Chains A and B, each alone.
Chain A
Amino acid sequence: MTRKQKRGVFIGFIFAAAALGVFAVLASLNSAIAYFYTPSDLQKLAKPPAGVIRLGGLVKQGSVAYPGGSTTVQFVVADKFAQTRVTYNGILPDLFREGQGVVVEGKLEPDGSVEASQVLAKHDEKYMPKELADALKKQGVWQEKNAPHS
């Protein structure tokens, strides 16, 4: 092969590799590679993962409870199709509240609930003065759109 032919083949090879790489990225983006599992993901797992997992979803309205008045808090993390119970003993972040997105880190118990070692609140990209939010709520045009950004 002359040098020119070699260069041609090499450039073709480079483009093929790049195209394959882009294809691999696009193919993988179709299915979410998450920082966390959603409750439905957990249900779909063939085998419960060992060790620490992350679970993301919304804190179900009315599910937060402090059994025995202790610092231990129980709540339910839900997505559209499934929900998971979470137990946590520790300090909750400021943004934690019902209806808010959270990411919970902890161990999956045999009964399907999660024993959390850390609770992270997910903030959405909405920034609004408190007064405005209150006013909107009063006028009834407020919409709960705090679902985690997907």
Chain B
Amino acid sequence: MKTFLAIILRDVTLGFRAGGGATQAAMFFALVSLVFALAIGPEPARLSALAAPILWAGALLSALVSLDRIFQSDYEDGTLDVLVETADLLELRVLAKAAAHWLSSLLPLIVAVPLFALLLNLPVEGYWPLLASLLVGTPALSLIGALAAALTLALRRASILVSILAAPLYAPALIFGVGAAEAGAAGAPSFVPTLLLVAASSLFALVFAPLAGAAAIRFNMS
């Protein structure tokens, strides 16, 4: 547990230091939101209807662009050797790396969501459902992303392949996440059940990502 926390702490620290990329993910998120807003035009009604999908898509894209950071640098500088060498359970290391990715790349962005929701004219009733669906659903992005990153860690210029592998598995979290945010905003009775499906996406990712990710790392180290 102590080493688990130590790895998370180190990765989060590295993420926020110069060149760490955590701020890059947040800036990318801002950029995506801005680009969508510009493309859709200033009409408030259209923007407010699309605010939740835009912010979810922005979170997903920010996750995708930050994935190759999860294992690549550790692989290149030899840290991964040490992480594997000292691991009782490699699965827990993968879990720690995914948690660190979520904390450094996605949590700051969720914190910033209310601001962007304001810019995109999201109705007040939509804030809590959107934040809830992001909090429950984005762990799936980090977990699945860690698996995709583990699969491609030995490849140079893997960022596109990482996206190709991760994106199809992101679909349930995205679809149900947006669905829950919209149902919640509309006060529809399907809010809670949809949110449960978002949670299920994260939980299933929690089950298979560490197992498959650890297997992928073992094969990539050999």
Contact = CB atoms under 8 A, between A and B. Distances in A.
Within 8 Å by CB, do A and B touch in the complex?
yes
Interface of A: 3, 6-7, 10, 14, 17-18, 20-22, 24-25, 27-34, 37, 41, 44-52
Interface residues of B, number: 33
5 contacts: A6-B88, A7-B88, A24-B199, A33-B179, A44-B189
A10 B92 contact: yes
Nearest to B1: A1
B193 A31 contact: yes
Q: Secondary structure at chain B's binding surface: helix, strand, loop or mixed?
A: helix
A22 B50 CA distance: 31
A47 B88 CA distance: 53
Given A10-B91, A45-B186, A18 B203 contact: yes
A21 B200 CA distance: 4
Contacts of A49: 182, 185-186, 188
Contact of B45 (A21, A30, A48, A50): A50
Contact of B49 (A25, A37, A50): A50
A31 B186 contact: no
Contacts of A44: 189
Contact of B123 (A21, A28, A50): A50
A45 B88 contact: no
B190 interface: yes
B187 A46 contact: yes
Contacts of A30: 193
Contacts of B61: none
Nearest to B197: A28
Instruction: Kindly name the residue among A3, A29, A49 whose own CB sees the greatest number of chain B CB atoms within 10 A.
Output: A49
Contacts of B200: 21-22, 24-25, 28
A33 B193 contact: yes
